[in-house]
Chain A
Amino acid sequence: MNTTAAPPVTATAETGFKRPHYLNAAYGVRSWLLTRDHKRIAILYLISVTAFFALGSLFALLIRLELLTPEGDLFQPDTYNRLFTMHGVVMVFFFLIPAIPAVLGNFLVPLMIGAKDLAFPKLNLASWYVYNLGGIFTLWAIVHGGVDTGWTFYTPFSTHYSNTYVISTALGIFITGFSSIFTGLNFIVTIHRMRAPGLTWFRLPLFIWSTYATSLIIVLGTPVIAITILLVAAERVLHLGIFDPALGGDPVLFQHLFWFYSHPAVYIMILPAMGVESELIAAFARKKVVGYKVVAFASVAIAVLGFLVWGHHMFVAGESIYAATVFSVLSMLVAIPSAVKVFNWTATLYQGSISYQTPMLYALGFIGLFTLGGLTGVMVATLGFDVHVHDTYFIVAHFHYIMVGGTIMGYLGGLHYWWPKISGKLYPAFLSKLAALLVFVGFNLTFFPQFILGYLGMPRRYWSYPPEFQVLNVLSTAGASILGVGYILPLCYFVWSMRYGKDSGDNPWGAVGLEWDTTSPPPTENFYTTPVVTHGPYEYNREEVHNRMSQEGTIG
């Protein structure tokens, strides 16, 4: 891979003696709010999703506070219903779905394929505005008391009986869905049409494969929830009855339509994290990912199979036992490509040259936590078992292991890995490792007890519980506090690093990848010369790379 030569550092009127890059190319609010640069749009998204994550975490904190004691004593039961609903809505639609694609994906996709920008830069900016518009609708609902239907909006409660702001929340989700579609569409076209010369499909980094698979899901699945949520709003306003049994409708139809998207949605959340994982493992084991093609195909397989399993959310909802059996078998099938990836990552670690920098800590944590979450997924895919643990804390623990232990660890790992590329700065090594440790310990303390609670029969979405469950709940809340600290620390030191962090140099990790062949931060047009790709990714065994690594060194 030819190293693109950066121009000599010259003094310019705007930048003084700094080399021009995308952050100092232009100053002022307008240059940010009207930008077409995918890197700046990624930063805009970073700010927005962080804000929503904070809001969703606040709801989680309040939930865990209530659950410290068996009686419902902190909130009214109605309020508690609103808390877990808004926690789910904000976290799913405004954080987990957009986070990695819109922050890391937006930043990295053009860089990783040697392009100047995405295929449709204006559409990219529009997607950020649409995201915030949807957010405003949902925030308006929250300020007025939120929704109490659960993030799943099951009918006819959501369409007929609930007295909360269902319509504005539904509209918020509807609008934000378009943001997601714009992003996915942009990625698919970009990856198909704008790869650098020589960059064939099987030379692409696995993060691109995962992002591509994610985008397929987004484009095919999101419209279904869009129309479904629109139908809920219409039914609520006009008292229609499409989903209301009293008026001839079928509430299970709503569930079919809702889960047709919402199951693939969880793959929208995990696939990008898996893509990050591949990049981290390769970089910090200094080794090509074992079974590259298999991992690439597994990403696409997960995307496709993920659309065939939604009925496993409805085992006890009244779907036919025959359909349930089919969905159960298919759900076990979809575990296979995920497991394959875990095997491949592990095989990559074997005999790799492993270093334990912060991103690697997140990557290692991801493998363990995702595996646990995935295995419990196979457990709940088993029809006979799920009948007992459905709507208990077992399910809550299962999906938090994947979404928090998987997606959020992947997101944080990716942020820590690419932060020098994004900002040109280094963050404090010790503090970041401490934060990673707190996240890992806090996470397990929060959610492992919930597996036990669920297995013992504690239902989810309940504001009070039998006293014998208190110890486990207290452990869970304690864990959540630790986890919270673990999340606040990166926020602090990332912001700190922008002003006070050491300059990172172009490639502090000595990693291999097109994105590392340009400066940190990159120039607005990404590369000074269009890269020409002559071999595949993760070429860590090459002489030239070895020499470069020993020169640049690595950071603490």
Chain B
Amino acid sequence: MTNVITENDIWEGLEQGTEALLDEWLVEDGADVEIGQPIALIVVVKANHEIMAPKKGAIKILVAGQDSFTKDQPLAEIV
């Protein structure tokens, strides 16, 4: 099982405890994804980022769309 986590560099300069927004999931919960496939859109302050699947497998969504999350928080699991 692999966690989908954001890269550290997008959090640079932000105060501890600041959260980002999971704007939209591009795949359904349980869908099969491939490495590099765009799976979610997130917004950190005003910057948009695309999240790619790090591994092939079935995705289990942990952070719902329109919810916020912290650095180091897994957005999903891939089994």
Whether chains A and B associate is no
Q: Which residues of A contact B (CB under 8 A)?
A: none
Q: Which residues of B contact A (CB under 8 A)?
A: none
